Amino acid sequence: MQTITAGFTAAINADTSLAAIGVSVTSVGTAITIKSNSQAATTYSQSKSNGATETMTLSINQNVPQTAAISGTVTAGDEIALTAYDTGLTGGLQAIPYTV
């Protein structure tokens, strides 16, 4: 799981749309901490591919550091995704997928 968490953290931090509104991510173990410096409310949702055995659980916060916990069984080819919602993003949202 820590490999998934590290890879997902890198994918989110590499997204230029999220960086433009001040979203940054750190991780320790299987927990990801998401921080937004946007002037607008930034919220998040999680998703996964059909049959994926990995799970992401989000805490409920707005514009304060939010935690996403990654758990489950590592299965190559599964996809998890985080979607950020913020009026500062083109179209109001940005999805960041990560393939295991």
Per residue of the chain (100 residues), give pLDDT as tens: 889 999 999 999 999 999 999 999 999 999 999 999 998 888 899 999 999 999 888 887 656 778 888 999 999 999 999 999 999 999 999 999 999 9
Is the pTM above the cut of 0.85?
A: no
> What CATH number has the domain bearing residue 78?
2.60.40
For the chain, where are the E strands, in sequence order? 23-28, 31-36, 43-48, 54-58, 66-72, 79-85, 93-99
Tokens of 56: 């992401």
Name the residue range of residue 42's domain.
2-99
> What is the pLDDT, as a whole number, of residue 59?
81
> What is the pLDDT, as a whole number, of residue 65?
76
Burial class (CB in 10 A: 0-12, 13-18, 19+), 46: middle
> What is the pLDDT, as a whole number, of residue 94?
94
CA atoms of 14 and 23, how far apart (whole Å): 10
- Number of structural domains (the chain) is 1
Report yes or no: 55 and 61 within 8 Å, Cβ to Cβ. no
